[in-house]
């Protein structure tokens, strides 16, 4: 599947901004199942970017605007090819996989995705509530699927009660949130059971008349490390495996590691308008 993604972030400042220094993580990843065919970043006021790869393997661009400005627009256009088939439901959890999962080497290698962060930490009483609903974890693959369904069925997708600063324990109390919140809650549950889990930021193609949620802006889901196999994507917002309609931009411990745009500036408050369009390309050369 080939997609074109156009993502526009427009900051309008209350008063004129003197200077701004910005960081963006909007360039889709290239790996064994996803290939970036084209990427372009257009910045107004015009500015050149410097690019580097962060600790988690994400592509990061920074830019500085020295002159006064009332508006900042960052528009990125990407073309991505994805070839990914259904996978996790076919996994047979073997004795060898079980040995890997319980090994000290496995735990040490994925320690960054086993330790809770402030975004993902759930309270003991919240985890007890989850345990009453899901039972004990004996097979991490099947348990991850149960957690995904639990979050999907227990939480209401709602964009009016949380913000980018909402923590998993707060969203858990509300039983509401957007894809970011549901991903953080799912990660918190999995890590509490010593299952390595990471946060994924990207885009979702829903097509026509789809029941999938999360295409209005950037989307978020979870990847689980399956012992001896690799990372597998699960989308608790939609209770589906992340397949070839999930376009990955960045991965990390939580949202803070993959925030699409961060910046500091000298001036008053600002408002942000975000527009995202994901288009299926019928032919690779479109």
2-82+259-281 CATH fold: Immunoglobulin-like (2.60.40)
Return left, alpha or beta for 148; rule: phi > 0 is left, psi -120 to 50 is alpha, else beta: alpha
Task: Indicate the length of the chain as a whole number.
Answer: 286
Domain ranges of the chain: 2-82+259-281, 88-258
Write out pLDDT tens, residues 15-59.
Answer: 888 888 999 999 999 998 999 999 999 999 999 999 999 999 999
> Strand pairing partners for 157?
177
pTM of the full structure: 0.94
| Cα 40 to Cα 27: distance, rounded to the nearest angstrom | 9
Cβ–Cβ under 8 Å, residues 271 and 11: yes
Write out pLDDT tens, residues 68-109.
Answer: 888 999 999 999 999 987 778 888 899 999 999 999 999 999
Q: How many CB atoms lie within 10 A of CB 142?
A: 14
What lies within 8 Å, CB to CB, of 63 at 6+ separation is 21, 22, 24, 43, 47, 48, 49, 50
Write out pLDDT tens, residues 230-244.
Answer: 999 999 999 999 999
Three-state secondary structure readout of 52-93: EECCCCCEEEEEEECCCEEEEEEEEEEEEEECCCCCHHHCCC
Cβ–Cβ under 8 Å, residues 96 and 228: yes
Cβ–Cβ under 8 Å, residues 133 and 151: no
| 88-258: CATH number | 3.10.620.30
Buried-state track 126-137, b at ≥16 Cβ within 10 A, e below 16:
beeebeeeeeeb
């Amino acid at each position: 599947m080939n997609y074109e993604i156009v993502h526009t972030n427009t900051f309008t400042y209350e008063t004129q901004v003197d200077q701004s220094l910005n960081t963006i993580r909007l360039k889709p990843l290239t790996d064994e199942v996803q290939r970036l065919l084209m990427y372009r970043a257009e910045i107004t006021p015009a500015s050149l970017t410097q690019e580097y790869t962060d600790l988690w393997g994400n592509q990061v661009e920074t830019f500085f605007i020295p002159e006064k400005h009332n508006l900042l627009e960052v528009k990125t256009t990407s073309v991505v090819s994805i070839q990914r088939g259904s996978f996790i439901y076919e996994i047979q959890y073997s004795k060898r996989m079980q040995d890997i999962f319980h090994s000290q080497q496995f735990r040490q290698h994925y320690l960054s995705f086993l330790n809770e962060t402030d975004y993902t930490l759930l309270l003991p009483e919240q985890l007890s509530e989850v345990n009453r609903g899901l039972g004990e974890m004996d097979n991490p693959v099947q348990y991850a699927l149960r957690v995904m369904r639990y979050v999907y069925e227990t939480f209401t997708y709602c964009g009016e009660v949380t913000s980018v600063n909402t923590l998993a324990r707060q969203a858990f109390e509300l039983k509401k949130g957007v894809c970011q919140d549901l991903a953080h809650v799912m990660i918190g549950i999995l890590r509490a059971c010593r299952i390595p889990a990471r946060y994924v930021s990207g885009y979702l193609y829903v097509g026509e008349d789809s029941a999938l949620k999360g295409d209005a802006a950037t989307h978020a889901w979870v990847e689980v490390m399956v012992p001896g196999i690799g990372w597998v994507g699960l989308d608790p917002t939609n209770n589906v495996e992340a397949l070839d309609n999930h376009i990955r931009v960045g991965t990390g411990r939580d949202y803070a590691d993959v925030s699409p745009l961060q910046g500091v500036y000298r001036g008053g408050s600002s408002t942000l308008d975000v527009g995202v369009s994901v288009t299926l390309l019928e032919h690779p050369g479109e």
